[in-house]
């Protein structure tokens, strides 16, 4: 009888130990790695901006400006809520042969539920965790959307195309997600904004369109008349 009692205790201990080990091995990926906050980490982008000036079709003035931007996680500091915040130094140069110059100082804070990026004192909820398809959130809810910021009102961010493969030039990213921030269009205007993030890297692509448009009756297609169209594409990272 003692022998069987010993076996029962022995195998119960094995089952309990195995169960504990299995629980320890289960790790939920919340998606924090889509925006790495590591000091020294940087991403370089090629930026193309197209400015459309009002005119009578077909005479539409288009000014094109291209340059490079590098965002680097610089240091950690305590914000006014005593949270760990990451200072982001944003550099700019006209082309690869020119020297970098500091353009902006931004910051980012991540907690268990979201990542907030401060861009020129505008706090955007860039990501919410866990990352999952069809999740939506008010990405600009921390911003007072009046005056010059009225265009940011009521944006509903949502995740799309999780684990998609994206490539830019020779760079290939096999685990990306799209954040659809805004996609509205009618007969006279188009408003569109997306960002794409790669696991282990951060934002790899961004596109914004805020365009007034008209329809050419003879051709039947819409053309931009006023506004701006901006694209960021990653060209380097560490």
Q: What length does the chain have?
A: 238
Give pLDDT tens digits for 177-223.
999 999 999 888 899 999 999 999 999 999 999 998 776 545 545 66
pTM, full prediction:
0.84
φ, ψ dihedrals at 5, nearest 5°? -65, -40
What whole-number distance in Å separates Cα of residue 81 and Cα of residue 162? 32
Full 3-state SS string of 158-209: EEEEEEEEEEECCEEEEEEEEEEEEEEECCCEEEEEEEEEECCCEEEEEEEE
CA-based nearest residue to 47, from 19, 29, 71, 27? 71
What whole-number distance in Å separates Cα of residue 163 and Cα of residue 175? 4
Give pLDDT tens digits for 128-184.
999 998 799 999 999 999 999 999 999 999 999 999 999 999 999 999 999 999 999
Give pLDDT tens digits for 71-119.
999 999 998 889 999 999 999 999 999 999 999 999 999 999 999 999 9
Residue 56: Cβ within 10 Å count: 8
CA triple 139-144-148, angle to 5 deg? 105
What whole-number distance in Å separates Cα of residue 191 and Cα of residue 209? 6
């Amino acid at each position: 009888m003692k022998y069987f009692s010993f076996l029962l205790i022995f195998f119960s201990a094995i089952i309990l130990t195995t169960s504990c080990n299995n629980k320890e091995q289960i790790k939920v990926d919340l998606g924090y790695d889509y925006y790495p906050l590591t000091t020294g980490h940087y991403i370089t982008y090629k930026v193309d901006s197209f400015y459309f000036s009002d005119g009578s079709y077909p005479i539409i003035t288009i000014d094109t400006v291209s340059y490079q931007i590098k965002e680097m996680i610089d240091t950690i500091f305590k914000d006014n809520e005593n949270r760990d915040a990451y200072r982001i130094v944003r550099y700019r140069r006209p082309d690869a042969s020119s020297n970098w110059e500091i353009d902006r100082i931004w910051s980012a804070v991540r907690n268990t539920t979201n990542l907030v990026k401060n861009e020129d004192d505008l706090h955007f909820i860039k990501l919410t965790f866990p990352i999952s398809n069809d999740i939506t959130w008010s990405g600009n809810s921390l911003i007072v959307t009046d005056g010059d910021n009225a265009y940011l009102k009521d944006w509903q961010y949502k995740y799309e195309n999780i684990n998609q493969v994206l490539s830019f030039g020779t760079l290939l990213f096999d685990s990306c997600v799209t954040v659809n921030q805004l996609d509205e269009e009618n007969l006279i205007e188009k408003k569109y904004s997306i960002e794409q993030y790669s696991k282990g890297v951060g934002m790899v692509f961004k596109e914004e369109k805020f365009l007034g448009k008209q329809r050419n009756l003879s051709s039947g297609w819409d053309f931009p008349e006023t506004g701006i169209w901006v694209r960021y594409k990653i060209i380097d990272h560490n």
